A and B are shown apart, each in its own frame.
Chain A
Amino acid sequence: MLDAPLLSVRNLTVAFPSLQHVLPAVRNVSFDIGREKVGIIGESGSGKSTTGRAIMRLHPAKTQITADRMEFQGRDLLALSERDMRAIRGHRISMILQDPKYSLNPVMSVGEQVAETAILHEKLSRRDARLRAMEMLEKVHIRDPERVMSLYPHEVSGGMGQRIMISMMLIAKPALIIADEPTSALDVSVRQQVLTILDELVTGNDMGLLFISHDLNLVRSFCDRVLIMYAGRVVEELRASELDQARHPYTQGLLEALPSLTEPKDRLAVLRRDPAWAQG
């Protein structure tokens, strides 16, 4: 990280009020993202997706989001009006979701969906937007974009759907990408292609990437830095290459519980959860 971070978060807390009580899903989370690939690892319910969505302010209105600081390129995200926020969402910060089957609009052709972003954020004409969409589809290595443009989401494979989503969010040249389990729904061979494309684009265009995943091996090999979340807190922050030297018992437990292809274990260690971890 050479210059000021793209995104700087200090003591982010996200709580969902219910009738009986207020449920804190993320507690006092702090991190910076520069022009690098940062992974968030955690099990289901650890608050990793909630953190990602809080940055985009995608939670329902009554959600209580507080932070000492949540700045994106020097702008306080929590203080922005909804109107200003719309100019940031999809334009300066983009999101890739897990399953293209559910996140693409099923009744719009691929071309229309990709072009929509260009029309909205870049104020391009329909014709220019279409050309731009085609160019973006080529960028994510879709051969024959002309044909793909006229297809509907149910007519494309999972890997292609995910590449379409990536092309859609790249159209506005965002500074930061939040990828929430972008490859969990994909097969191994397709996953490598999608990651390679993501890697090229992030490195080539000098973007920041927040990569949310539960796959330790993937994050370890793909990201530069890793945050490990447990019960709504970041319990440890490490360089991805140094994940093996994790100090926190939770991180160590996760690594030991993982069946390994290269170092077989007869029995897998079962994680013993310490209530103290949740208290930080």
Chain B
Amino acid sequence: MMIKVSGLNVTFGQGTKANHVVRGVDFGIGTGECFGLVGESGCGKSTILGAIAGRVKQWSGEIRINGEAVQQSRRELAQLRQQQIVFQDPFGSLHPRHTIGRVLSEPLEIHGISDRDVRIAKVLDQVGLPQRFRFRYPHQLSGGQRQRVAIARALILDPQILLLDEPTSALDVSIQAEILNLLKDLREERGLTYLLVSHDMAVVTHLCDRIAVMQKGKFVEVTTRAAMIKGDLSHPYTRLLRDGSLGYRPVSSTAAE
């Protein structure tokens, strides 16, 4: 078990204003597995990812990574290095005034790793970018190339887990295909474990072995890729999401709000 989450609760704010975002979630992700979290905006899927990454600190419950329990606050660098995030919007997640080379060397500096040049050259190669891109700025890159840089930045510390927060939703269909293929290849080559958060059912089904469907901070169903493809689903909310992503079907409009 690479990631084991039990009884995870996340609450933002206190007292009467408390917002209970994640309500008692349990799941485990095996080594080399790809686990998907789907749900609509505000359901808490990115918050779970944030708690695992150490970005969200007000959680309770238990999170174990590689068997080791992690603390809410103060994590060791060595623990943080095991999981890296790729964010949704490559336009927002790369520093506009840093060259790609500098973007990629920053995690190495923080973690005190030497042989930076070698690592940067290697990781650029892995994500399919030419070496000369080291000296470019994000605005000189296309959306797909930028997302490759974001993936390279996550990979440069040799993590075992990639946390993918809507990695393709800001990209065009043809670029999305490239990135999804890259993610699939990287996982096979390096035996990575993925936790993918997305609202796009087709993307999640394409990449993930198991899929958890979230609504209002809870899992309503954990299903498999095969069941999702067949439409063999038990919860009506899962069916709603699946039907919705297949295209337009008139719904009875009185159901609105």
**Which residues 250-277 of A sit at the B interface, judged by CB distance below 8 A?**
253-254, 257-262, 264-265, 267-271
Interface string of B17-42 (1 = CB under 8 A from A): 00000000000000000000000110
Residue from A163, A195, A200, A259 in contact with B203 in the complex, judged by beta carbons closer than 8 Å: A259
Q: Which residue of the partner chain A has the closest CB to B237?
A: A189
Q: Are A261 and B228 in contact (CB under 8 A)?
A: yes
In the complex, chain A residues whose CB is within 8 Å of the CB of B206:
259-260, 264-265, 268
Interface locus among A13-21, A28-36, A78-86, A215-223: A215-223
Interface string of B129-156 (1 = CB under 8 A from A): 0000000000000010000000000000
Interface locus among B63-71, B111-119, B172-180: B172-180
**Which residues 173-194 of B sit at the A interface, judged by CB distance below 8 A?**
173-174, 176-178, 180-181, 184
CB distance from B109 to the nearest CB of A (A): 34
Interface locus among B72-80, B98-106, B245-253: B245-253
- Report the bound CA distance from A162 to B73 in whole Å: 40
Residue from A159, A189, A197, A265 in contact with B244 in the complex, judged by beta carbons closer than 8 Å: A189
Interface string of B33-69 (1 = CB under 8 A from A): 0000000110000000000000000000000000000
Q: Are A196 and B257 in contact (CB under 8 A)?
A: no
CB distance from A159 to the nearest CB of B (A): 8
Q: Are A43 and B248 in contact (CB under 8 A)?
A: no
Interface string of B197-223 (1 = CB under 8 A from A): 001011101100000000000000000
Q: Is B81 an interface residue (CB 8 A)?
A: no
Q: Chain B: interface residue count, which band?
A: 35 or more
Interface of A is mostly: helix
Q: Knowing A218-B247, A221-B248 are in contact, say whether A261-B202 is a contact too (CB < 8 A).
A: yes
Q: Are B177 and A189 in contact (CB under 8 A)?
A: no
CB distance from A179 to the nearest CB of B (A): 13
Q: Are B228 and A43 in contact (CB under 8 A)?
A: no
CB distance from B203 to the nearest CB of A (A): 6
Q: Are A187 and B173 in contact (CB under 8 A)?
A: no
Q: Are B257 and A270 in contact (CB under 8 A)?
A: no
Q: Is B110 an interface residue (CB 8 A)?
A: no
- Report the bound CA distance from A222 to B242 in whole Å: 17
Q: Are A259 and B205 in contact (CB under 8 A)?
A: yes
In the complex, chain B residues whose CB is within 8 Å of the CB of A258:
173, 177, 202
Q: Chain A: interface residue count, which band?
A: 35 or more
Q: Are A141 and B254 in contact (CB under 8 A)?
A: yes
CB distance from B54 to the nearest CB of A (A): 28
In the complex, chain A residues whose CB is within 8 Å of the CB of B174:
43, 253-254, 257, 270-271
Interface string of A133-167 (1 = CB under 8 A from B): 00000000111000000000000001110010000
Residue from B225, B245, B257 in contact with A217 in the complex, judged by beta carbons closer than 8 Å: B245
CB distance from A148 to the nearest CB of B (A): 10
In the complex, chain B residues whose CB is within 8 Å of the CB of A216:
173
Q: List 17 A-B contacts (CB under 8 A).
A: A142-B257, A188-B244, A188-B245, A189-B240, A195-B248, A196-B250, A197-B256, A200-B253, A216-B173, A217-B245, A222-B247, A259-B180, A259-B206, A261-B205, A264-B206, A270-B174, A271-B174
Known A188-B199, A199-B248, A265-B206; 10 more pairs at CB < 8 Å: A158-B41, A160-B257, A187-B40, A187-B199, A189-B240, A192-B249, A193-B256, A254-B173, A267-B181, A267-B184
Interface residue ranges, A against B (CB under 8 Å): 43-44, 141-143, 158-160, 163, 187-189, 191-193, 195-197, 199-200, 214, 216-218, 220-222, 253-254, 257-262, 264-265, 267-271
